[in-house]
Amino acid sequence: LFCSRMRNYSITTCDGKGNCTTRYYCEKNNVTAFCIDNKGEIVWATNLDRKKTYNGWDIFDINVALKGDKFFVSYGSEFGIHAEKKNYKSKKSKKHQNEIFEYAVFDKNNGEYKKHEHNLNKLNTPKKDKKYVDPISIMVIEDEFYTYSMQTGFKPGWIALGCLGAFACPPVVLIPFFSGNARKGSAHLAHIKPIE
C-alpha cells in the first residue's frame, strides 16, 4: 500500500480596487509504504521524505509498478534527491524538475528504498527537441511507466499576417489567436524503463 499526505489550500489576493484573485494549490508530502499481511497486521512501514506543491486541488502524483520483488515508484519532488533539509538551497531548479525523472525502488520484502534520477535529455540537446516529464502525466500500464509531453506555439507567419491585417481592420489581429492553422506543436510519448 502506497500513500502520500495531501493538503489543499487557497490564497486570495485583492488589489486596491477590490478585485480579488484566488489561487488553488495542492501540497504533497512524503511517500509512505505499508506491507500488510492476510490478517491485516502491518509487516513493515517505511517513509520517503519529499515535498511538491502543484497548482490546483486533489493532485495525485504517485505511480507504482511491480517488477519481481521490487516496487518502482514515481513521484514529484521540488527538492534535490540527496537533500537532508527542505529549504531554498536544496530546492531544484524548474529545469531540473521538468527534465529529470525521479523515482524510488522499494524492496517488497522489507520496505527499504533507494532514490534514483534519470535525465531525459542528453547534454546540449536543442530546446526544440527536449523532452519533459510531469509527475502527474505519468501512467502505469502493465507495470510499465509511460508519459507524454507537449509543446505548442504560434507560427511566426500567421502572427505577422495578423499584425499587418490589423492596419486595415483591427479585429483581424485576433484571427491568428483563434485559428488552429496559426499554431504549431510537438508531442512526445515516452516509455520509461527505470533501473535499480
Q: What is the pLDDT of residue 118?
A: 80
Does the pLDDT value for residue 189 go beyond 90?
no
Tell me the per-residue pLDDT of 69-119, one tens digit each, with 9 for 90 and over.
Answer: 999 998 988 877 777 777 666 677 666 666 778 889 999 999 999 998 887
145 band by pLDDT with thresholds 50, 70 and 90: confident
Please write the tens of the pLDDT for every residue from 21-80.
999 999 999 999 999 989 989 999 999 988 889 999 999 999 999 888 999 998 988 877
**Distance between CA atoms of 139 and 114, rounded to whole angstroms?**
21
CB 64 within 8 A of CB 140: yes
- Confidence band, pLDDT 50/70/90 cuts, at residue 12: very high
Tell which residue, 166, 184, 162, has the closest CA to residue 175: 162
Instruction: Tell me if 8 sits within 8 A of 25, measured CB to CB.
Output: yes
pLDDT at residue 34, as a whole number = 92
69 against 165, higher pLDDT: 69
Q: What is the pLDDT of residue 56?
A: 92
Q: Which residue has the cell 483581424?
A: 172
pTM tops 0.85, yes or no? no
Asked whether residue 173 carries a pLDDT value surpassing 60, the answer given is: no
Alpha carbons 162 and 160: distance in angstroms, whole number: 5
